[in-house]
Homo-oligomer: A and B are copies of this chain.
């Protein structure tokens, strides 16, 4: 087995299980613990995971900081969410992905707007249960705890039967050449499917996600209709996205 393969596998297991035990993992793939520990040390040095006694945890440790992630940059996310919510027209069928940006979006939907929201995020469903005029449809399936969205074949089948006007996609990275990416292969696959069923695919990206790339590609830039991001374009990155035939909406805080 190649070193690079092994390292990729480590990251995948880490994304899937939210942790990795050095001893049991080494037995599982039939490699000595020493080698695994070496890999873990190197990946930790690159900041790709968090090394702990006994194994490793994801770099941005899983659900533990879901709440704190929500707190960080909340004001920026809520103004992005407000801008995104304005793109929903009366009567449309909208797919809302999981993630903190989309929860903000859900909170910003005008109270008199009548529309249908499809989601595979229980958090979004709970949030919208309090909205007076939005019809909510929940996609079932196995719960992927890290992102708190449903995945798997049950989800895929349900999604395949629904055509939507707009898909607000959550990503962990958005790169001009690589496109939209996320940290889990199965999640990427589900997002790809949703995108195919949608007329428009819109990505809300805070500035730290611009130019970043995670292991798994969801779709290339060509599949993305609109990017909603913060207005302070320091690095000129936005020009790269604009030239990719994508509408870029810049929002000031």
Residues of A participating in the B interface, judged by any CB pair closer than 8 Å: 2-5, 8, 11-12, 15, 19, 21, 50, 52-55, 57, 61, 63-64, 67, 122-123, 125-126, 128-130, 135-143, 145, 148, 150, 154-155, 158
Contacts and interface: CB of A to CB of B under 8 A. Distances in A.
6 contacts: A3-B53, A63-B130, A123-B126, A129-B148, A137-B154, A140-B154
A2 B141 contact: no
Nearest to A161: B154
Give the copy number: 2
A2 B15 contact: no
A130 B143 CA distance: 11
B126 A122 contact: yes
Contacts of A125: 122, 143, 148
Contacts of A154: 137, 140, 158
Nearest to A123: B126
